[in-house]
Chain A
Amino acid sequence: MSIGLTLLGLLETGPRHGYDLKRAYDEHFGQDRPLHYGQVYSTLSRLLRDGLVEVDGVEAGEGPERKRYAITASGVTDVRDWLVTPERPEPYLHSTLYTKVVLALMSGRSAQEVLDVQRGAHLETMRALTRRKLTGDLADQLICDHALFHLEADLRWLELTAARLDQLSEEVRR
């Protein structure tokens, strides 16, 4: 995910200091991977250089100066363009697992076992996500649901493949 565009999107709700921006990012999107301060400031200086944000004010404090950043008009355009550009669907698991299943069948191993093991692993992850969802806030629930639906799609493919193993087995041995 683009950190720069995400920070821009957060700035669209109002100007913020780098520290506030990091906190907002971590709260909404950084459950698994909070941002480092270094990442925040290097990203902000790049956005500043590209004219997507501007310094909205500087506060002198006991420590270093605190700059407040605001999004520019071209920053807003970039966020809008990003939001309406579809993400590339990535059939990553399908290809790896497909290869494994076909190789198992070609070498006379149990493809059913490959599928069963993968189902078990998927379900374990889905249980962990479900537990996290039950104790988490709304943002947690949304993130977990997204992951759960993806894993579910993988598993549905697994079930369908399991149902077609006999046919697949005949084809790869031909």
Chain B
Amino acid sequence: MTEPLLAAVDLHKTFGPTPALDGAGLRIWPGEVVAVMGPSGSGKSTLLHCLAGIIRPDSGTVSYQGTPLSTLSDVDRSELRRTEFGFVFQFGQLVPELTALENVALPLRLGGVRRREAESRAMEWLARLEVADVADKRPGETSGGQGQRVAVARALVTSPKVVFADEPTGALDSLNGERVMRLLVAAAKDTNAAVVLVTHEVRVAAYSDREVVVRDGKSTQVELVR
């Protein structure tokens, strides 16, 4: 591997008078789990949002497989996010009107996969995340831990190259948080998806291969010898 999957160089981003990123950089290699750590307000979520192409940095570049995201149209960036990236947030952000199965099948349906095929693949992912039993339940009818595992299934169902997880266990107790991390990391390793894991919990970060620390909008990272 000569090229990182994702590379961010010298990112700057200011919200009003507040600089959120002040020269942050980061490289993500295929299949690795990287914890992005740092105190509240250090810029770690902003860094994740820039990496995922959700927000544009004021300056600096983010490249995915060598292509700068800034050269892509909005449509192409949306397409990239839908096909290559998966997302897990602190609160699952599942669609409340849909069942767990429909939620997980949704990214496939948006990509034009037929309902039967999409639901069959969604069911496989629900089983893998140990939540097949809530397939017909809506988000309001499941526990927090179950909902978060449904969200992980939804993030992985399209076989993304990168999963962005922003405090994925932040709303869960220790036991449920660990279960989510164990299943998320195992599934990512099995499919060779990289995981960018934003967390302030070190026990969660311990599931990573390496960590990047963001402080005052700058990042320091130790890359593994490869």
Pair B202/A127 contact, Cβ less than 8 Å: no
Q: Which residues B33-64 have CB closer than 8 A to chain A? A: 39
CB-defined A-B contacts under 8 Å, sample of 19: A116-B213, A120-B222, A122-B202, A123-B202, A123-B205, A123-B206, A126-B203, A126-B205, A127-B206, A127-B207, A129-B206, A148-B203, A149-B203, A151-B202, A152-B201, A155-B202, A156-B202, A159-B39, A163-B39
Pair count A-B, CB < 8 A: 36
Knowing A119-B213, A152-B202, A155-B202, say if A130 contacts B207 (CB, 8 Å): yes
B211: A residues at CB distance < 8 A: 120, 123
B203: A residues at CB distance < 8 A: 126, 130, 148-149, 152
B78 at the interface (CB under 8 A from A): no
Residue-by-residue, is A52-93 near B (CB-CB < 8 Å gives 1, otherwise 0)?
000000000000000000000000000000000000000000
Pair B220/A116 contact, Cβ less than 8 Å: yes
Q: Which residues B79-94 have CB closer than 8 A to chain A? A: none
B208 at the interface (CB under 8 A from A): yes
A130: B residues at CB distance < 8 A: 203, 206-207
CB distance from A130 to the nearest CB of B (A): 4
Docked CA distance A149–B182 (Å) = 17
A168 at the interface (CB under 8 A from B): no
Chain A positions near chain B (C-beta within 8 angstroms): 116, 119-120, 122-123, 126-127, 129-130, 134, 148-149, 151-152, 155-156, 159, 162-163
Docked CA distance A123–B220 (Å) = 15
Docked CA distance A152–B39 (Å) = 15
Number of interface residues of B (CB under 8 A): 15
Docked CA distance A87–B218 (Å) = 42
The residue of chain B having its C-beta at the shortest distance from the C-beta of A126 within the complex is B206
Q: Which residues B139-157 have CB closer than 8 A to chain A? A: none
A148: B residues at CB distance < 8 A: 203, 206
CB distance from B115 to the nearest CB of A (A): 36
A151: B residues at CB distance < 8 A: 202
CB distance from A5 to the nearest CB of B (A): 29
Q: Which residues B182-226 have CB closer than 8 A to chain A? A: 182, 201-203, 205-209, 211, 213, 215, 220, 222
CB distance from B129 to the nearest CB of A (A): 16
The residue of chain B having its C-beta at the shortest distance from the C-beta of A163 within the complex is B39
Docked CA distance A122–B211 (Å) = 12
A134: B residues at CB distance < 8 A: 182
